[in-house]
Amino acid sequence: MVTAYDIVEKAAKTGKVDKGINEVTKAVERGTAKLVVVASDVSPKELTQHLPILAKEKGIKFVEVDSKQKLGLAVGISVSTGAVAVITPGEAKLEQLK
């Protein structure tokens, strides 16, 4: 089964992603994001609680993952990140995501 981490990793290598809560928020507001992935271990929760609502309003697929550390690694950075937006999937197959 393909995980959100796999999708993010492939999109980061072959397409375009935005990292970080502020960048992801902008991408969602502009409607350029195809997929929003948010880590559930972000603290405080208020930092990311607007993203699922925004994504739903814009009709953007939203997925929550368990670890900001793993999300950072998946996107190819050495620090953790609370949110990632896939702008251009590249070779990542977004439809494989359940």
Q: Please give the pLDDT value at position 67.
A: 98
Domain ranges in the chain are 4-92
CB 83 within 8 A of CB 48: yes
Give the separation between CA 76 and CA 28, rounded to whole angstroms.
21
pTM over 0.85: yes
Kindly state the average pLDDT of the residues 73-93.
97
Q: Please give the pLDDT value at position 12.
A: 97
| 55 Cβ neighbours under 8 A, 6+ residues apart | 28, 33, 36, 61, 62
Q: Yes or no: is domain 4-92 CATH 3.10.250.10?
A: no
Give the model confidence (pLDDT) of 1-42 as tens digits.
889 999 999 999 999 999 999 999 999 999 999 999 999 999
Give the separation between CA 54 and CA 68, rounded to whole angstroms.
20
Q: Please give the pLDDT value at position 98.
A: 67
Give the model confidence (pLDDT) of 55-70 as tens digits.
999 999 999 999 999 9
